[in-house]
C-alpha cells in the first residue's frame, strides 16, 4: 500500500491507498507546530493509518507528503511553511528515517491537483485552482504533475492583472491573489464573523449593495484565474478547490454568469467554453492526501 499525507496549518490527514487506487483507511490529527512536532505528528499519522488497515509499516511501498510552503521536490526539503512554524526542514529525510520507507514531498496544492485528477477520474490535462488564503494552481498532464523547472508553474496568484490595483504581499501590485483569495475577502470585507466569506455571500444574497460589490470583485477574480490558466497552459479541466470552494453552488453560479457575460462580448472567449470546463472539487474530497500517495507512482517530467 501507499500512504499519502496532507499536512495543513491546523490538521494532518493521512490516507492508505491499496491496489487499484482504493482507499483502505483514513485518519486525521491536529498538526504540530514547528519542525519537530510537524515531523512527529506526520510519523504518528502514518503509523496510525497503517494500523487501521490491519497491515504493517513493512507493507508500505511509499509515502507521499503534501505540505504548504516552498518544496524542493528533488530533495524533499521544505522552506517557508509559515503556518506550520517551519523555516526549513529536510522533511523527506527525517520522515524516511523514522518510517524506514521512501518519502516524497510536494507542495500541497500540486499534490492536490494530482489527487483531484485521480479522484474525479479526469483524463488528459487539468489544473486544480486552489482558492484558499492565497491563490495558486497545480497542473497535471497525463497523470503527472507539471511543476516547471523552477516550481512556479501555476503560480498565477502573483500575476498582476490591474495596474491600478492594491499592493500585494509579494511586492507587486494588482496580483490576482488580491482579488481571488480568502485574504482578499478579509481585506475587502471587514468583519468579526468566524467565516467572513460565508457572511459576505449571505449578505450579498440578501441584496446588500456593498456585499454584492465585493462578491462581484472576488468572483470576477476567480474567473480571471480560470481564463489565465486556459490562455497560458491550456488544460482541459479546471477544478476549483481550496477553502473557498466550499461555497459550492453559491460560487459556481455567479462564476458561470461571469463566463457567459464574457462569452457574449467575445466570440474568442466563447470558443474556449470556460463554463463547460470548470467544476468545483466536492467538499471533503481528500485531494491532497490522495495526490500525495500517488506522487511516486508515475515518473516525473524530465
The answer to whether 276 contacts a second copy (rule: CB under 8 A) is no
Long-range CB contacts (within 8 A, 24+) of 195-201: 197/243, 197/244, 197/247, 198/247, 201/247, 201/250, 201/251
Q: Does 170 bind a second copy (CB under 8 A)?
A: yes
Which CB, 105 or 235, lies closer to a second copy?
Answer: 235
Stretch that binds a second copy, among 148-156, 181-189, 240-248, 285-293 (CB under 8 A): 148-156
The one segment of 14-22, 112-120, 141-149, 194-202 that binds a second copy by CB under 8 A: 141-149
Query: Binding of a second copy at residue 171 (CB under 8 A)?
Result: yes
Smaller CB separation from a second copy, 20 or 163: 163
Contact 95, 7 (CB under 8 A): no
- Distance between CA atoms of residues 286 and 302, nearest Å: 28
Task: Between 21 and 151, name the residue whose CB sits nearer to a second copy.
Answer: 151
Q: Segment contacting a second copy (CB under 8 A): 52-60, 182-190, 197-205, 264-272? A: 264-272
Using CA atoms, how far apart are residues 257 and 247, in angstroms rounded to an integer?
A: 16
| 137 contact partners, CB below 8 Å, separation of at least 6 | 109, 113, 127, 128, 129, 130, 154, 155, 156, 225, 229
The dihedrals phi and psi of 154, each to the nearest 5 degrees, come to 85, 5
Among 148, 166, 195, 210, binds a second copy (CB under 8 A): 148
Size of the site for a second copy (CB under 8 A): 45
**In the chain, where does DSSP find H-type helix?**
35-53, 91-99, 108-119, 182-188, 196-205, 209-232, 249-265, 267-271, 274-277, 287-294
- Indicate whether 155 belongs to the interface with a second copy (CB under 8 A): yes
**Residue of 66, 154, 182, 254 interacting with a second copy (CB under 8 A):** 154
Site residues (CB under 8 A) for a second copy, limited to 222-241:
224, 227-236
216 binds a second copy (CB under 8 A): no
Q: How far is the CB of 165 from a second copy (least distance, A)?
A: 9
Q: Which is nearer to a second copy, 1 or 225 (CB)?
A: 225
Would you give the distance in Å from CA 250 to the centre of its chain? 20
Q: Is 99 among the residues that bind a second copy (CB under 8 A)?
A: no
Would you call 276 exposed, middle or buried from its count of C-beta atoms within 10 A (0-12, 13-18, 19+)? exposed
CA dihedral sign, ordered 106, 110, 111, 114: negative
Contact between 71 and a second copy by CB under 8 A: the answer reads no
Under a CB-based contact definition with an 8 Å cutoff, are residues 179 and 166 in contact?
no
How near is the Cβ of 232 to a second copy at its closest, in Å?
4
Answer yes or no whether residue 300 interacts with a second copy by CB under 8 A. no
Kindly tell me which residue out of 268, 276, 283, 300 binds a second copy, with binding defined by CB under 8 A: 268
The angle formed by the CA atoms of residues 190, 193 and 194, to the nearest 5 degrees, is 125
Q: Give contact residues for a second copy (rule: CB under 8 A).
A: 124-125, 141-142, 146-156, 158-164, 170-172, 224, 227-236, 262, 265-269, 272, 301-302
Amino acid at each position: 500500500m501507499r500512504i499519502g499525507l496532507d499536512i495543513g496549518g491546523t490538521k494532518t490527514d493521512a490516507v492508505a491507498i491499496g491496489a487499484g487506487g482504493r482507499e483502505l483507511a483514513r485518519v486525521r490529527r491536529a498538526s504540530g507546530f514547528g519542525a519537530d512536532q510537524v515531523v512527529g505528528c506526520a510519523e504518528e499519522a502514518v503509523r496510525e493509518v497503517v494500523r487501521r488497515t490491519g497491515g504493517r509499516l513493512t507493507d508500505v511501498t511509499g509515502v507521499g507528503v503534501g505540505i504548504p510552503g516552498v518544496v524542493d521536490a528533488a530533495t524533499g526539503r521544505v522552506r517557508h511553511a509559515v503556518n506550520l512554524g517551519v523555516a526549513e526542514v529536510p522533511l523527506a529525510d527525517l520522515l524516511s528515517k523514522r518510517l524506514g520507507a521512501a518519502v516524497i514531498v510536494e507542495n500541497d496544492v500540486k499534490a492536490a491537483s494530482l489527487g483531484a485528477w485521480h479522484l474525479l477520474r479526469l483524463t488528459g490535462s487539468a489544473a486544480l485552482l486552489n482558492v484558499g488564503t492565497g491563490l495558486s494552481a497545480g497542473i497535471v498532464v497525463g497523470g503527472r504533475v507539471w511543476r516547471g523547472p523552477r516550481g512556479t508553474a501555476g503560480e498565477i496568484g502573483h500575476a498582476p492583472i490591474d495596474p491600478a490595483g492594491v499592493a500585494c504581499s509579494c511586492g507587486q501590485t494588482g496580483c490576482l491573489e488580491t482579488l481571488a483569495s480568502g485574504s482578499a475577502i478579509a481585506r475587502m470585507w471587514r468583519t468579526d464573523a468566524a467565516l467572513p466569506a460565508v457572511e459576505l455571500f449571505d449578505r450579498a444574497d440578501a441584496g446588500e449593495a456593498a456585499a454584492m460589490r465585493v462578491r462581484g470583485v472576488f468572483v470576477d477574480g476567480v474567473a480571471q484565474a480560470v481564463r489565465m490558466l486556459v490562455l497560458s497552459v491550456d488544460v482541459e479541466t479546471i477544478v476549483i478547490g481550496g477553502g473557498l470552494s466550499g461555497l459550492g453552488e453559491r460560487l459556481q453560479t455567479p462564476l458561470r454568469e461571469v463566463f457567459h457575460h464574457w462569452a457574449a462580448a467575445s466570440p474568442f472567449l466563447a470558443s474556449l467554453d470556460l463554463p463547460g470546463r470548470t467544476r468545483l472539487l466536492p467538499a471533503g474530497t481528500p485531494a491532497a492526501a490522495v495526490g500525495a500517495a500517488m506522487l511516486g507512482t508515475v515518473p516525473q517530467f524530465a
